[in-house]
Structure 1
Amino acid sequence: MNNNAYTLITGASSGLGREFSIQCASMGMNVMMIALPGSNTFSLAAQLIMEYEVDVQVFEFDLTDSYLLVRTLNELMNNFEINFLINNAGIGGTVSIMESSMESIDKIIQLNVRGTVLVTQTLLPHLLKQQKSHILNVSSMAAFTPIAYKTVYPASKAFISSFFLGLREELQGTAVSVSVVYPGPIMTNSGVSARIVEQGMKGRIGLLSTKEIAGIALRQALAGKGVIIPGFWNRINHRLMSLLPTEIKLRIVSGAVKKEMAIR
């Protein structure tokens, strides 16, 4: 590992992004944390610097601001060496499409799709100059089937899967290795945790902690693996669901989401 290089992590202040930041620092990597303003990122950065004796840089801004995003990334490339990009930032939601505002729909598309592609395309020439570099992208098990009452979110994660697996093939033979991780359910906040608990055993199948998911994703991405599905039950679920016609998968998964909404 190049001790002068940095790992850039989007959505780095909470949930899976926070755990990526901690584990990368514990592996001796210098870290660039990108998060929304007011995310308490500087406090985590100070903790990582003190505990792991690595350099941590913090940049707080909204990734959906394309002009600011490109300007900031260009400044970073001019001043730092980056050899690992972790595209983690993303948002979702469970709501009927008729009850969802255009602003919330647009936010998912702007962050999950446009922002992620823009970060990658802007940094790619820099990553290609490195002796060896990696791009790790957070998709979701939701990418494998359409889901009613979520609609935009799984579509955005399917985009992440398709885009980056295509990019992986495009970059074969270069210095850049591209990986996609597909987490199952994660207890990232109190709202998500409550919904998982309400679903009982069915909701908890495939459930892993952010620590477990980040550890698996980092190890396999650094080893050059393209498709990463953390957890035995998630891999079994993916294989079984892949045998079903789309209409049946859609009905099964969407039915579970509809019941979840009725409980709330």
Structure 2
Amino acid sequence: MKSIRYTLITGASSGLGKEFSVQCAAMGRNIIMVALPGSNMASIAESLALEYKIDAKVFEFDITDGILLIEKLNHIIENFEVDFLINNAGIGGTASITESSLEAMDRILQVNIRSMVSITQMLLPHLLKHQKSYILNVSSMAAFTPIAYKTVYPASKAFISSFSLGLREELLDTNLSVSVVYPGPIMTNSGVSTRIMGQGAKGRIGLLTTSEIVRIALKQTKLNKAIIIPGFWNKINHRLMGILPLETKLRIVSRAVKKEIAIK
């Protein structure tokens, strides 16, 4: 079994994670799908395996459970050859920090930062054994500026960006390529879609489908690209935001996000 190569995808039950699973399977890659319990992953994996003639494994557990995470990763390392890691799992939210619970903020940090670092560090020796291997970490356009009413989320995505690029430089002389993708707005569910549409034209700038984001991310990861910004308008937005003073872009973005609270 260990001669077969796998792509490990976290947060694989919906949104970008599900699309990463579909497109990797369509490329003929065997997949290991990690998601929360009760995500109906078994039926998804079975469908992908039948349609694309690949092997699809499912692990349903909470990655914020540190002990369980180590246990599951050790099992995966012992039984499967992973040559592509996609750290996609992530959560966020929009609310005044005074109205956010400590538990909600801590969970963002656990999912977006601690679990991502733990998974990456544990799999690194395993990934480095292969002739060619890849890590793709999912950040966000939010990583490029602080944002009021989302304070913890963009900070966590900035961490992912910094961590990924630092790791890439550290591994520059190895066979392991590290990439980081910065998606813009994504209509992952009805709640998010309502908030995006409520922001008007500004909220919809850079809006891409999950399939297009994943297609670009996978293609450029295979080309060893370090920084991946899907979509023409997101690239333009990144350049413009790079020119503006920090206080100006912080105010512009925060005012747009504040509208989400009114929509809730």
- The TM-score range, normalised by the shorter chain, is over 0.9
* Alignment gaps of 5+ in structure 2: none
* Deviating more after overlay: 51-60 vs 190-199: 190-199
Match of 1:145 in 2: 145
Amino acid in structure 2 at the alignment position of 1:68: L
Q: For the residues of structure 2 that align with 1:237 and 1:85, how far apart are their CA atoms?
A: 28
* Deviating more after overlay: 253-262 vs 97-106: 253-262
Match of 1:207 in 2: 207
Length-normalised TM-score, structure 1: 0.98
Contact 2:140 2:181 in 1 (8 A): yes
Q: For the residues of structure 2 that align with 1:50 and 1:112, how far apart are their CA atoms?
A: 32
Q: For the residues of structure 2 that align with 1:105 and 1:248, how far apart are their CA atoms?
A: 26
Q: Secondary structure at the match of 1:147?
A: coil
Match of 2:71 in 1: 71
Match of 2:9 in 1: 9
Match of 1:229 in 2: 229
Match of 1:249 in 2: 249
Length-normalised TM-score, structure 2: 0.98
Deviations 1:15-63 (A, max 9, x none): 0000000000000000000000001111110110110000000000000
Match of 2:24 in 1: 24
Amino acid in structure 2 at the alignment position of 1:141: M
Task: Using the TM superposition, give the Cα deviation of residue 75 of structure 1 relative to its aligned residue in structure 2, in angstroms.
Answer: 1.1
Q: For the residues of structure 2 that align with 1:130 and 1:32, how far apart are their CA atoms?
A: 17
Match of 2:60 in 1: 60
Contact 1:206 1:234 in 2 (8 A): yes
Q: Secondary structure at the match of 1:98?
A: helix
Aligned-residue sequence identity (percent) comes to 70
* Deviating more after overlay: 38-47 vs 141-150: 38-47
Match of 1:186 in 2: 186
Q: For the residues of structure 2 that align with 1:107 and 1:255, how far apart are their CA atoms?
A: 25
Matched ranges for 1:136-175 at <5 A: 136-175=136-175
Deviations 1:219-259 (A, max 9, x none): 00011000000000000000000001111111000011112
Contact 1:33 1:56 in 2 (8 A): yes
**After the TM superposition, which parts of structure 1 deviate over 4 Å for at least 4 consecutive aligned residues?**
none
Q: Secondary structure at the match of 1:242?
A: helix
Q: For the residues of structure 1 that align with 2:250 and 2:204, how far apart are their CA atoms?
A: 20
- Count of matched residue positions in the alignment of Structure 1 and Structure 2: 263
Residue 133, structure 1, aligned to residue 96, structure 2? no
Q: For the residues of structure 2 that align with 1:71 and 1:258, how far apart are their CA atoms?
A: 41
Q: For the residues of structure 2 that align with 1:261 and 1:104, how far apart are their CA atoms?
A: 16
Contact 2:32 2:56 in 1 (8 A): yes
Contact 1:147 1:250 in 2 (8 A): yes
Contact 1:3 1:28 in 2 (8 A): no
Task: Using the TM superposition, give the Cα deviation of residue 203 of structure 1 relative to its aligned residue in structure 2, in angstroms.
Answer: 1.2
* Deviating more after overlay: 30-39 vs 199-208: 199-208
Deviations 1:177-205 (A, max 9, x none): 00000000000000001111112221111
Match of 1:109 in 2: 109
Q: Secondary structure at the match of 2:99?
A: coil
- RMSD across aligned C-alpha pairs, in angstroms? 1.1
Q: For the residues of structure 1 that align with 2:225 and 2:117, how far apart are their CA atoms?
A: 20
Amino acid in structure 2 at the alignment position of 1:171: L
* Alignment gaps of 5+ in structure 1: none
Amino acid in structure 1 at the alignment position of 2:4: N
Contact 1:3 1:30 in 2 (8 A): no
Q: For the residues of structure 2 that align with 1:251 and 1:77, how far apart are their CA atoms?
A: 45
Deviations 1:78-120 (A, max 9, x none): 1110000000000000000000000000000011000000000
Amino acid in structure 2 at the alignment position of 1:104: A
